[in-house]
A and B are shown apart, each in its own frame.
Chain A
């Protein structure tokens, strides 16, 4: 679309202002985490100061960050893998061989996402206790996979359905078996879609707090538990809380930034008809 230079300048400016405004809280959190506890609450707030890492040292001294980070990584990756492995065949079946039950199956899956998790906490808790899954990574992986299954199936279904039917038809004409069809046509063509679905699932797993707070205590606890342990009990230690928050979100943030192109492109690809 062509537009006048002035309009261009204005949109750019506006875009940047909005982007900065939205980013500011995160910027401020990171900034505060490098202050001393006293500097963090000085009025007016310091913008230029000598950065120190005492807040990080204190956080690390109180709880072992790497232990929680490792749990977060293992559980998120595990949950995403399980969800993808279960969803790909299901989405394939529903996208390419739809039956009259497909729509209601999809709806049913989505409806399970609507129940506030606190509603099924007690049954799941008791289920976990009897099967010794409390505070275990395997248990959380199962829960996370289930939590993301509906979205993963829906997204994959959309991506698969957007795939040009003619290509599959042509493949079938040439005598491709279902296996060949999947491996040589479907997989390569929908790879961006699958990648972006997996990315989304990873992010959702990483950020999930309700189940991890209620079903883990220490050995399987991910970073959401880590941040919560700093959040409530004591007063507001600005620098320490900022450092803990930064530590909890940093890995997924960097990961999101790196894969953003893929994430956005994937979603856009799914939209192009």
Chain B
């Protein structure tokens, strides 16, 4: 920042004076250029995102059905009240929280373990091929994955049932049985996204200075100590970013379930995003759905803000400490 006047002065001297030079000098002032650079992205966001979100917010105060053809009726907080009193919403919300906690938790733990496994086997035959196979689920299209998992889970002809039969176990109607549907859907999510957490773990491990890893080796720290004191200490930020991204995505899981169970059987796999979709496009109650969407948005923002605040606070504490 403090170099700015100097830079613009030299610039003005070397150029012939004129509008162009003055413009260049203005751009060299460090505060103008960054703002200008941000403008396109902000404009894009406002047109495509802020406008629809405000629209949504407005709609959430109306009773409005897409099919009835009647004009929207203003109901104030009516939609919100009806949502808060709707036990189905609370069920879907708690189911979603359970899904997010289990999915992200399992993915993080498995990702950490597998990441460490593959980090420690760096010079082993076929590591690259094994890693490639490991990462593949992450790249797959969820809609397609849902489709072929439905085939795999099929109680009569699916390969998983065939394996169970081969082991002499009773077959399970994975997606059709209310007791197993939630777990089966969860398993597919874990299968798809554990690779992502492996990747984040590997990235986090790469950020640990080699000397410290060696020192930990020499000091004969136990596995858990090494994990906590060395690896998590350095790779925390990357891992946290991974967890944050996964949590946001898991919260709105839709594609996978849309294809495998569409919320059923009963409503055992009805996460809140699916519920929103069904209410909006099967029942066509737009105002109600918009209000629910607003609530979801608020939950997500609150979560992220807390998360980032905690991360930020820790970072600041680290900076305050002498190196």
Residues of A within 8 A of B (CB): 1, 3, 8, 11-12, 14-16, 18-20, 22-23, 25-26, 28-29, 32, 40-41, 43-45, 86-87, 89-90, 92-94, 96-97, 99, 103, 105, 107, 109-124, 127, 142-143, 145-146, 149, 151, 153-154, 158, 172, 175, 177-178, 203, 206-207, 209-210, 223-224, 227-228, 230-231, 236, 238, 241-242, 244-245, 248-249, 252-253, 256-257, 260-261, 264, 267-268, 270-273
Contacts and interface: CB of A to CB of B under 8 A. Distances in A.
- The prevalent SS among residues of B at the interface is helix
Contacts of B55: 120, 123
Contact of A123 (B34, B56, B294, B297): B56
A123 B144 contact: no
Given A16-B130, A112-B49, A207-B141, A105 B38 contact: yes
Nearest to B238: A271
B35 A93 contact: yes
Interface string B238-254: 10010001001001101
A22 B134 contact: yes
Interface residues of B, number: 109
Contacts of B124: 8, 11-12, 15
Contacts of A44: 162, 165-166
B195 interface: yes
Interface string B159-185: 100100110000000000000000000
Given A45-B159, A107-B304, A115-B297, A18 B114 contact: yes
B52 A124 contact: yes
Contact of A223 (B53, B141, B248, B297): B141
Nearest to A107: B308
B7 A12 contact: no
A177 B40 contact: no
Given A26-B140, A120-B56, A271-B206, A19 B121 contact: no
B74 interface: no
Nearest to A169: B3
B152 A90 contact: no
A114 B162 contact: no
A82 B45 CA distance: 13
A18 B124 CA distance: 15
Given A93-B35, A103-B312, A111-B300, A19 B40 contact: no
Contact of B120 (A11, A97, A142, A203): A11
A118 B254 contact: yes
B117 to A, nearest CB: 6
Nearest to B286: A122
Interface string B133-172: 1111101111111111111101011010010011000000
Contacts of A11: 117, 120-121, 124
A27 B235 CA distance: 33
A205 to B, nearest CB: 11
A249 B200 CA distance: 23
Given A22-B137, A114-B304, 20 more contacts: A1-B120, A16-B130, A18-B117, A22-B134, A23-B134, A23-B136, A26-B136, A32-B151, A45-B159, A107-B305, A116-B254, A116-B293, A123-B52, A123-B55, A146-B44, A178-B28, A210-B254, A210-B255, A268-B203, A272-B207
Interface stretch (B79-87, B101-109, B272-280): B272-280
A6 B128 CA distance: 21
Given A97-B31, A116-B296, A146-B48, A267 B37 contact: no
A44 B159 CA distance: 8
Interface string B265-276: 000000011001
Contacts of B146: 231
Given A18-B134, A120-B52, A267 B203 contact: yes
Contact of B137 (A26, A127, A149, A154): A26
A172 B7 contact: yes
Contacts of A16: 126, 130
Residue of A41, A90, A127, A149 most packed against chain B (CB within 10 A): A90
B302 to A, nearest CB: 10
B140 A249 contact: yes
Contact of B148 (A19, A145, A245): A245
Contacts of B114: 18
B90 to A, nearest CB: 17
Contact of A109 (B45, B195, B217, B293): B45
Contacts of A109: 41, 45
16 contacts: A3-B120, A15-B121, A43-B157, A114-B296, A115-B297, A146-B49, A177-B11, A178-B33, A224-B144, A227-B144, A231-B147, A242-B148, A248-B141, A264-B131, A267-B200, A270-B203
B27 interface: yes
A23 B134 CA distance: 7
Nearest to B205: A271
B68 interface: no
Contacts of B117: 11, 14-15, 18
Given A93-B37, A149-B41, A267-B203, A231 B259 contact: yes
A45 B162 contact: yes
A172 B40 CA distance: 26
Residue of A29, A153, A241 most packed against chain B (CB within 10 A): A29
A143 B280 contact: no
